[in-house]
Amino acid sequence: MRSTDVGELTCPVARAIGDVGDPWTLMIVRELFLGSHRFDQFEAQVRASPILITARLRALEANGIIAKRSYSARPLRHEYHLTEKGLDLWPLMVALKHWGDRWGGFKAGPPAAMRHKACGHVTALNLVCDCCGQPISARDVVIEQGRLMSGERDALMAEKRARDGAKARQRRRPAAGRRPSKSERLA
């Protein structure tokens, strides 16, 4: 399975990982939220080879996360901007920043801050329950998988068991034409 194929799983987290769960893609999205829109800015800040940037920008565009906007007709040039789908990745960026701030080893404190326009204060990640407004973290919730998702997960484990069983059976009744084992090769 390719890492881009994880998006085919019936799990929202896996779907998201399939679309944006790649380091360079995430770095480009970070750049977009920091206000970069042009190819050369991505090249300078993301520090990946141009062929990589091109490929990732095309994929992001194909997935509707960014859109090209022309800013010059002659020569034809465009900028890349986040769509609504792309802007909705903001909580993901905030979550990455929160974790990086806490565990990134910044002795002198966070290298950047987010100021809330409405109240004027510097703000940080604060996740609260949709319903009661209480702050929530991993231990405050239970995950309830729907039938589709749990069914798929059970099937994946069953498939693996079947594969492993078949492999063991074949080992005990070795057929012709297989790869010689290490001990056989050494003999």
Q: Which of residues 99-138 bind DNA (CB under 7 A)?
A: none
Residue 75: name the closest of 42, 39, 44, 51 by CA: 39
Query: Could you give the dihedral angle defined by the CA atoms of residues 45, 46, 52 and 56, in that order, rounded to the nearest 10 degrees?
Result: -110
Q: Report whether 17 contacts 26 (CB < 8 A).
A: no
Residue 134 touches its own copies, criterion: CB under 8 A: yes
Residue 182 touches DNA, criterion: CB under 7 A: yes
Instruction: Point out which span in 1-9, 90-98, 126-134, 136-144 binds DNA (CB under 7 A).
Output: 1-9
Q: Which residue in 3, 123, 145, 150 binds DNA (CB under 7 A)?
A: 3
Q: What string marks each residue from 50 to 89 as x (binds DNA by CB under 7 A) or -?
A: xxx-xx-x----------------xx-xxx----------
The footprint of its own copies on residues 54-93 (CB under 8 A) is 85, 87-93
Q: At what angle do helices 39-46 and 23-33 cross, to 10 degrees?
A: 120
In whole angstroms, the minimum distance from the beta carbon of 42 to its own copies comes to 10
Both structure tokens of 117:
């326009």
Q: Residue 2: what are its φ and ψ, rounded to 5°?
A: -85, 155
